[in-house]
A and B are shown apart, each in its own frame.
Chain A
Amino acid sequence: MDKDKTPQLPVRMTRSSASSSNHIATAEVNSLEPLTINDLLVGGDPISLDDIISSFPGRSSQIREVVRLLGPLNSPMLPLFVYGGPSTGKTSIILQLFRHLNRPLVYSSCRTCHNQGILFESILNQLRLHRKNAANGYSTAKRCERPSDFVNFLREALTNVVNNLKKSENSISNKMTNGKIGNMIYLVFDNFQLVREWEKSSTILPLLFNLHDLLKMPEVGVIFISNTSPDTFYTNMGYVEPVPILFPEYTEGDIRQILLRNQLNQKLYSSFLDLVLHSFYRITNQVSQLSATLKPLYEKYCEPLNDKGKGVAHNSEMNLRLSTHIKPHISSALNEIFKISYISSTEVETQKEEKWKGKSSRSEQSKELGSLDFHMSTSAKYLLISAFLASRNPATLDASLFDSKGGFDNRKRKRKPSEKALERKETLEEEMLMKGPGTFPLERLLAIFQCLVSVAEDPSDNEEQNNNASGVQSGSGDLMSDILLQLSSLCNANFIFKGRSCPIEGSTRYRSTISEDLALKVARSLKFPLSKYLYRS
């Protein structure tokens, strides 16, 4: 946090840092004292509305609207639903506004509280001013799993807090001090879209949407923050819709302003943005992705300047030189940098970033070497490969690929005579690639598996002439044993998808779900020539 360097906020704060930094700071200061009602405030220095607006370019209408809907001190509120794409400033604006208004809020993110029990406990812990520590064995204030208990406890805790607020307000107004916090308390649910994927989402969603009506407390405001619009929350119950507030994606001009902030050499950076921003903006309009992508490109842009562009006089000649220097890099950057998943926080120091990148590239290298990063038995590997082949290759080609001996020498002979048929098959095969893996019955899988195992053991047979025939026999028998068990465990591990039984044929059909890369890796670990069996042009 470089808050002391700049009076304004840093350009972007991640959700966690924006929400937790203040809480953690207060928690560290008075880690021994019991929490007070003031810990429900966002904390930090008071900030004026104009500061907030200027620190979030392009968001002034949204900020004003939220302020209007939150209303003056002590005025009740209907539930709000704030939504917009990722990194459009929803959470940080809400939190900064509460810092400005100096009102208590209970913030819970549905990403960290990943099921209803944890969500309930987190809300209750905050409301009951409970802190997990060694003294209470890191236990929660109230254990509650059922929604019915939760609503009872919540009502109890909220009345408590509201009464305290009212009391303290009275005493403060007697003293005529400035720090009024009012008697409203706000519940903020962040990342609300994730609730839909919870186990009991069909009951918890209507409950949370109706929470305001259930509590029947005018002192409680409810705010939902979500990535997706309200109409993606289908419930079969229906609910009275909350008041929607849309945070649209930033326009190109806004993004320019956001990226320009905290840059040392504004002029240089702006001429850099002139060159590159438009082509990047056509691809993505998310600030997090853009800033991560543009950072290395900017470093490259500054390369011709010896002192990293800190105190360089700016002129058109220099500009031209720089732009010719950067031109060839732009398109490659467009294509390549999005490969690396973007770094979520720009506040991560550059050193760390470099380390991170180094690590990722190393891991990529190791992947290319072809080692599997998980263990799997040999027969399961063969089964996986045969499932992959059964999904990829059309069933009509099985006979030509695997004959009873499992050799390939016959294959070439068979392929030659019918060039036209081959072409037709190729288009068929391409179509299959388009449509994704095909389905196959169990019998076909087992037949291919048997072929593969026999093929795989042929070379070993040749190499190790000393081994007697019976040993090889028993080896193949080993691989074939428990094959259905292996199959079911592969199904459970989601490598093979088991469909419902086909109504016409009556047998269950399977489908392999692994990608070609993974299949090739598995084959390499077995030293199995998979590519010879893949039917492709």
Chain B
Amino acid sequence: MEGENHAVKAVNVLRSRICDPKFIFFDDSPDSNYSKLKFMISSSVTEACNNSILLLGPRGSGKSAVLELVIQYLMQEYPDSISVIRLNGLLHSDDISAFKEIARQLCMEHQLVFSKAASFDDNSQFMMAMLKECGLAHKTVIFVLDEFDLFAQGKQRLLYSLLDAMQSITSQAVVVGISCRLDADQLLEKRVRSRFSHRKLLFLPPSMEDSQRLLMHMLTLPIDSSFPHDYAVEFNKKVQNIIEDRRFKETLNKFLNIDSAVKDLLRFLFCAVSHMDLQTGFLSRENFEIAFFSIQRHPKLEFLRNCTELELYMLVCMKSLEVKEQSLCNFNSVMKGNICCYNRGQSFSSNHYYINVYWLGFRHLIDLEEISFLNFHCLNISPRKMQVLIDYYPICEELLSFRILPNLLRLKQF
């Protein structure tokens, strides 16, 4: 009972670490992105100048987490001379709601009354006035634009007015764009691009060594009063052993070959930690292997395994029609092929099913999105052309390896 309590506690600690980006991305070394970004922003805060930076990198590589860390640091360092406005391209990509959100956050920050009814013009003028005021008070406004590429759609009025305001001496602002499109700065209009300082920070996926260090960092329990000393020491030793294991390295390597961003690694860790045996209370290599297999999915194979024989048979028919006739088939032609087969005694089964049975299987295939319609919009589905979304090869594999289908079918198709 005692041991189980520790185990539950350990799982909780590990899981909250995995879900807490601040713990993951804290890296104090001088050439880390964290230090670079900290230097850039804090210098523009202390020197009271304008700045604009782009953080680029694949999704889940910790761009916004690092920025949050930097902001947290700056808030402690210069509590009075910073205010942060956070926008997200997913939510505020149109200019009206973007300006409204900026006005709302500025009002929140400075204890002003925010009017919902304010027009677009009011809001943009209010923002300009506030920027000027902040500049006079030597207060830096940091604009965080998440999903930066979405702001670059349309007229880019928000970007233009922000960057244009920064050209004047009175204002004092930093614009930080975050995007997973590496060509984000190329999306900008000429008038916007010329006002943008082309500072970029690239976030790269971690190398194998870095990932191992990260694993170690994430999985070791703190040796202090929160856990019994023996338990924590043994836990850490086991983790160390697992990470140094050759077979574990192979698994990790396989995983990193597919998904290499930090967030994907975390997903892997999350699954592994969730599978930890609460009875023993320690992680084992099997946990990681199970996690690897549960995350590694083969959607088409999964689907084929879920098919009934009828559906598999229909898929084979469609696919062989596609291959033979070099054109796409529709429900009518599949049925015609079926009837021919039946007459030759090579049907799916000795029972002769009517059309609606095939129709049932057909509808199920559509629902599962393994076949899709091509061209026109039609009330009547049966003549619509369709496409099988699976390759011929896996279907054959499936037929040969997982099911024992009537020999006739096999003879017919291969």
Taking Cβ atoms with an 8 Å cutoff, the residues of A that contact B are 65, 68-69, 71-72, 74-78, 85-86, 146-148, 151, 203, 206-207, 210, 213-214, 218, 227-232, 237-241, 243-246, 248-249, 279, 281-286, 289, 331, 334-336, 338-339, 433-437, 494-495, 497, 499, 511, 513-515
Contact = CB atoms under 8 A, between A and B. Distances in A.
Given A151-B91, A229-B299, A240 B332 contact: no
Interface in B287-312: 294-295, 297, 299, 302-303, 305-306, 308-310
Interface in B304-333: 305-306, 308-310, 330, 332-333
A72 B349 contact: no
Interface string B77-100: 000000000001011110001001
Contacts, number: 171
B337 to A, nearest CB: 10
Given A240-B264, A279-B351, A494-B377, A338 B360 contact: yes
A238 B264 CA distance: 13
B336 A207 contact: no
B330 A435 contact: yes
Contacts of A237: 90, 147
B195 interface: no
Given A72-B12, A148-B97, 15 more contacts: A72-B8, A75-B11, A146-B97, A151-B88, A229-B303, A237-B90, A240-B263, A243-B295, A248-B302, A335-B353, A434-B333, A435-B383, A436-B330, A437-B383, A497-B376
> Interface on chain B toward A: helix, strand, loop, or mixed SS?
helix
B332 A85 contact: no
B267 interface: yes
Contacts of A495: 379
Nearest to B273: A71
Contacts of B60: 240
Contacts of B332: 433-434, 436
8 contacts: A71-B11, A148-B100, A334-B353, A335-B356, A434-B336, A494-B377, A497-B377, A515-B380
Bin chain B's interface residue count: 35 or more
Contact of A78 (B11, B266, B333, B353): B266
B148 interface: no
B274 interface: yes
Nearest to B259: A241
Nearest to A517: B380
A86 B361 CA distance: 14
Nearest to B336: A434
A495 B380 CA distance: 10
Contacts of A207: 90-91
Given A71-B11, A218-B16, A229 B302 contact: yes
A338 B357 contact: yes
Given A283-B308, A434-B333, A435-B383, A231 B299 contact: yes
B380 A514 contact: yes
Interface stretch (B161-169, B208-216, B364-372): B364-372
A213 B15 CA distance: 16
B56 to A, nearest CB: 14
Contacts of A229: 297, 299, 302-303
Nearest to A212: B19
A77 B330 contact: no
B339 interface: no
A515 B379 contact: yes
A85 B311 CA distance: 14
B308 A77 contact: no
A221 B52 CA distance: 34
Given A75-B12, A78-B267, A85-B306, A499 B376 contact: yes
B380 A434 contact: no
Given A68-B274, A147-B90, A499-B376, A335 B306 contact: no
Given A218-B16, A246-B302, A72 B11 contact: yes
Interface in B1-27: 8, 11-12, 15-16, 18-20
A403 B294 CA distance: 69
Contacts of A69: 270-271, 274
A334 B294 contact: no
A180 to B, nearest CB: 13
Interface string B124-145: 0000000000000000000000
Contacts of A77: 15, 19
A210 B330 CA distance: 38
B368 A228 contact: yes
B98 to A, nearest CB: 8
Given A68-B274, A228-B369, A281 B91 contact: no
A241 B310 contact: no
B384 interface: yes
Nearest to A204: B90
Contacts of B309: 282-283
B29 to A, nearest CB: 25
A521 B131 CA distance: 71
